[in-house]
Chain A
């Protein structure tokens, strides 16, 4: 789990984009760790959300993940 979390954060920090579809995260993780299962990656993402490292970004119809502090990560005031 910690290893997956590390891979996800590394990907989210280094990618050109700041918001990711879950599928993009899954692909990025499986590039580094081909054995990683979708369920495990999802659990790692949820743990990162609960810790506050990552945030959900929702358009209403689809949802993306982003790293808190990178790109638009606060509610515009």
Chain B
């Protein structure tokens, strides 16, 4: 289905939005970069550059040199911000504690999130970063940009901010690191009015929803992750920008159980594509894999000779549900036992495909450690169709929110609330019957308890009558 934006999309004239010339962007030589020293001594940070991986220190020094070369009027905040940031970080390494204060009044008008106040607690020494606020920019679904857009964002941030950015933050946003309070509104205007780009969520809000590459680039996607992510981002704008939740709330969308955005571990409400019919098998392609005509794993791991592909060893024996077998070169799958681990499909993508009756599973309550330890999500809805306008999904989301807003304490995540109240009460509140899929393994999580009204005769019984049949 072709993408249909909710509002007419205006064409951005990138030739007018760019700020810097190529000469300004390529203003130093490799030689100059090698010999460049920032104005503070940063021995521990420079040590980080010696490791085998690219270092943010090397990137930051490159940016610092770039800012030294720019003309004064070509930047609206202090040219030394990057050097001061590195200097302060060295002090934090020396002291073993941070020198950033965070939080406060900063924001853009009418928005309760998207801007996070940052202040240095050493403003006398590192004056240029006395204010160094962070802006979160809502990434496009699946983080697909064109390069003109990225260049424009980089130019804007060099001009009105520090030039330092983090692509991408854990929630998926583009994180623009470091600007002063006076620049917040102009940046917001440029992003929204010129580039048609909203800022993301922070604070007690719905955080920027995030999705995998979905049907745009992946044959495994069981629903249109980008469309659902876009739809819910638009539909829940109020929740995204005007905080009224007990704490943060994250939605993430994985198109299949491979879980490329790791929604099961990182979001309060995780949507994972699945199917309820059978895995599609092309038996000829299975034979082609066995005979070695098709490379397994889509050609991954071919850097080394692992020997001939062995379907028994590499696929069937590795099935966690033991639901596969090979009979006369025919692959048989006992689909009702399949736990959607995706291994067989990943190894033989030409032979096996997810079923056609597609939808998604919803898991709730994953979180990183803050009040309680880290938690993985619990499966709550085994299967739900995911088709526009997604009313079934919205109805479910709102039921969960209603419960969490009502019962959740300040700064309590959904996962912690579920743990505190127990799953039976949670299921009862959101109106779902207990299902076997909610239990991780047999004889685990024995959380389904009888209630008096469900038992014929209630808790009262005639003991004598019982004893007449059952001796002590």
Report which A residues bind B (CB closer than 8 A): 21-24, 38, 42, 45-46, 49-50, 55-63, 72-76
Contact = CB atoms under 8 A, between A and B. Distances in A.
Contacts of A56: 105, 107, 111-112, 203, 243
B410 A58 contact: no
Contacts of B406: 38
Interface residues of B, number: 35
Contact of B244 (A22, A57, A59, A60): A22
B117 A58 contact: yes
A49 B7 CA distance: 27
A56 B134 CA distance: 16
B110 interface: yes
Contact of A75 (B106, B111, B205, B411): B106
Contacts, number: 88
A62 B131 CA distance: 20
18 contacts: A22-B244, A38-B244, A42-B242, A42-B244, A50-B110, A57-B103, A58-B106, A58-B112, A58-B116, A58-B203, A58-B243, A60-B103, A60-B202, A61-B203, A61-B248, A63-B205, A72-B105, A74-B105
Nearest to B119: A76
Interface in B76-115: 102-107, 110-113, 115
Given A38-B405, A73-B105, 18 more contacts: A22-B204, A22-B246, A23-B246, A23-B408, A23-B410, A55-B105, A56-B112, A57-B103, A57-B104, A58-B107, A58-B115, A61-B248, A62-B203, A62-B204, A63-B113, A75-B104, A75-B117, A75-B181
A61 B106 CA distance: 14
Given A38-B405, A63-B113, A21 B410 contact: yes
